[in-house]
Amino acid sequence: MGGFDLSGWFNLRGTPLEPLPALLISIGIGLLVGIERERKRHVLAGIRTFPLGAMLGTLCAMIGQHLNAPAFPIAGLVVLTAFGFLGTKVVDEQSDPNTTTLAAFLVVYCLGILVFYGYAPLAVAGAVLVTALLYLKPELAGIMQKLERHDLYSLLQFCALSFIILPLLPNRALGPYQAINPHHVWLMVVMIVGLGQVGYLSVRLFGHRVGAPLLGVLGGLVSSTVTSLIYSRQVKEQPDSAARASTIIQLANLVLNLRMMLFTAAIAPAALPKVAVVMAPGMIIGTVIAMLRDRREKADGNQNLIALSNPADLKLALGFATAFGLIMLCSAWLNAEFGRSGVYTVAVISGANEVDAIVLTVLNLFAQQRFEVVSCATAMALAVGANAFFKLGLIFSLGGRRLGMRCLPTFAAILGGLLIGTLALQLGWL
Average pLDDT over residues 384-410: 87
> DSSP assignment, residue 43?
-
Q: Are 165 and 220 contained in the same domain?
A: yes
Mean pLDDT of 203-215: 61
| 162 assigned to some structural domain | yes
Distance in angstroms between the alpha carbons of the first and the last residue of the chain: 52
In this predicted structure, the answer to whether residue 300 has a pLDDT above a threshold of 70 is no
Pair (35, 181) in one structural domain: no
Please state the rounded mean pLDDT for residues 167-187.
Answer: 77
Query: Are both 105 and 162 inside the same structural domain?
Result: no
Residue 406 lies in a domain: yes
- For position 208, what pLDDT does the model report? 46
- Do residues 38 and 182 share a domain? no
Nearest CA among 76, 78, 96 for reference residue 87: 96
* pLDDT at res. 268: 85
Q: Is residue 290 assigned to a domain?
A: yes
pLDDT at 239 (0 to 100): 78
Residue 414 lies in a domain: yes
How many Å apart are CA 48 and CA 58, to the nearest integer? 16
Same domain for 211 and 237? yes
Q: Are residues 52 and 169 in the same domain?
A: no
Residue 243 has a pLDDT of 78
Q: Name the residue type at position 108.
A: V
**Boundary (domain end) residue, out of 135, 165, 183:** 135
My answer on whether 118 and 215 are in the same domain is no
Helix, strand or coil, per DSSP, at residue 31? helix
Sign of CA dihedral 369, 356, 248, 240: positive
Angle between helices 20-38 and 120-135 (to 10 degrees): 10
Sign of CA dihedral 251, 252, 255, 260: negative
Instruction: Give the pLDDT confidence of 254-277 residue by residue, as tens digits.
Output: 888 888 898 888 888 888 898 889
In a domain, 142, yes or no: no
Q: Rounded to whole angstroms, how far apart are CA atoms 393 and 17?
A: 77
Task: Give 259's Cβ-side CA count (13 Å radius).
Answer: 26
Segment 334-345 shows an average pLDDT of 68
Same-domain status, 350 and 381: yes
Q: Which residue has the higher pLDDT, 407 or 345?
A: 407
Domain final position from 85, 100, 135: 135
Residues 188, 63 share a domain: no
Full residue range of the structural domain in which residue 24 is found = 2-135
Average model confidence (pLDDT) across the chain: 75
**258 plus 401 within the same structural domain:** yes
> What sections of 20-148 are H helices per DSSP?
20-38, 49-66, 72-81, 98-116, 120-135, 137-146
Classify residue 106: in a domain, yes or no. Answer: yes
Instruction: Indicate whether 232 and 166 sit together in one domain.
Output: yes
This prediction's pTM: 0.54
User: Mean pLDDT throughout 8-22?
Assistant: 66
Q: Is residue 140 part of a domain?
A: no
Compute the average pLDDT of residues 40-47.
66
Distance from C-alpha of 192 to C-alpha of 355, rounded to nearest angstrom: 11
**Res 366 pLDDT > 50:** yes
In a domain, residue 355? The reply is yes
**DSSP assigned state of 300:** P
Do 388 and 297 fall into the same domain?
yes
Query: How many domains is the chain built from?
Result: 2
Q: Specify the pLDDT at position 299.
A: 45
Instruction: Report, as an integer, the average pLDDT of 27-32.
Output: 86
Which pLDDT value is given to residue 159?
A: 81
Hey, which bits of 117-259 come out as E strands? none
Judged against a pLDDT cut of 70, whether residue 87 lies above it is answered with no
Q: What is the pLDDT of residues 88-116, one digit of tens each?
A: 444 444 545 567 777 888 888 888 888 88
Higher model confidence: residue 14 or residue 220? Answer: 220
Of 429, 404, 417, 379, the closest CA to residue 278 belongs to 417
Q: Averaged over 12-33, what is the pLDDT? A: 78
pLDDT at 196 over 70: no
The pLDDT score that the predictor gives to residue 244 is: 74
- d(Cα 358, Cα 323) in Å, to the nearest integer? 9
Burial of residue 214 (number of CB atoms within 10 Å: 0-12, 13-18, 19+): middle
